[in-house]
């Protein structure tokens, strides 16, 4: 794993947990509109590049309230994210935790990080109103 992300770095939203949970909170036609503006390319063997599968994943992530991206951006990198929402329920940001795949399975990401992430996101959401 070689991810080194600096402040202001730009990553492909459809292939990151932060991006995917935020995209999932958009109306489905808007997700499709944005999808049509990007060139989908595989970063790893796990990268989802099928447009329909990406939209379905983003919508499913919204329904379940979190997103897990499993080695789609870089081999060995797993991430889980949850939305930060305004008082009106609009997703205004997201928060995530990343781990090396050898240190945390998908289940471990959910079991160890999801509840703490949700608590922090709820606190931030409450603060921003």
Q: What angle do CA 115, 96, 79 make, to 5 degrees?
A: 100
Q: How high is the pLDDT of residue 53? A: 96
For 34-63, how does the pLDDT look when each residue is reduced to its tens digit (9 = 90+)?
Answer: 999 999 999 999 999 999 999 999 999 999
Determine, yes or no, domain membership for 49. Answer: yes
Q: Is 100 exposed, middle or buried (0-12, 13-18, 19+ CB in 10 A)?
A: exposed
Question: SS3 of 78, please?
Answer: strand
pLDDT (tens digit, 9 = 90+) per residue, 102-118?
999 999 999 999 999 99
> Tens digits of per-residue pLDDT, 60-89?
999 999 999 999 999 999 999 999 999 998
Q: What is the CATH number of the domain that holds 36?
A: 3.30.450.40
Provide CB contacts within 8 A for 30, sequence distance 6+. Answer: none
Residue 111 lies in a domain: yes
Domain count, the chain: 1
């Amino acid at each position: 794993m070689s991810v080194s992300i600096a402040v202001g770095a730009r990553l492909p939203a459809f292939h990151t947990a932060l991006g995917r949970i935020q995209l999932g909170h958009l109306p489905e036609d808007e997700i499709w509109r944005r999808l049509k503006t990007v060139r989908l390319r595989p970063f790893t063997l796990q990268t989802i590049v099928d447009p329909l599968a990406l939209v379905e994943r983003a919508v499913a992530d919204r329904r379940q309230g979190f997103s897990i991206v499993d080695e789609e951006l870089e081999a060995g990198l797993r991430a889980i994210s949850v939305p930060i929402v305004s008082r009106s329920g609009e997703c205004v940001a997201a928060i995530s935790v990343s781990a090396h795949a050898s240190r945390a399975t998908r289940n471990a990401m959910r079991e160890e990080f999801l509840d703490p992430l949700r608590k922090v996101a709820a606190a931030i959401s409450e603060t921003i109103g």
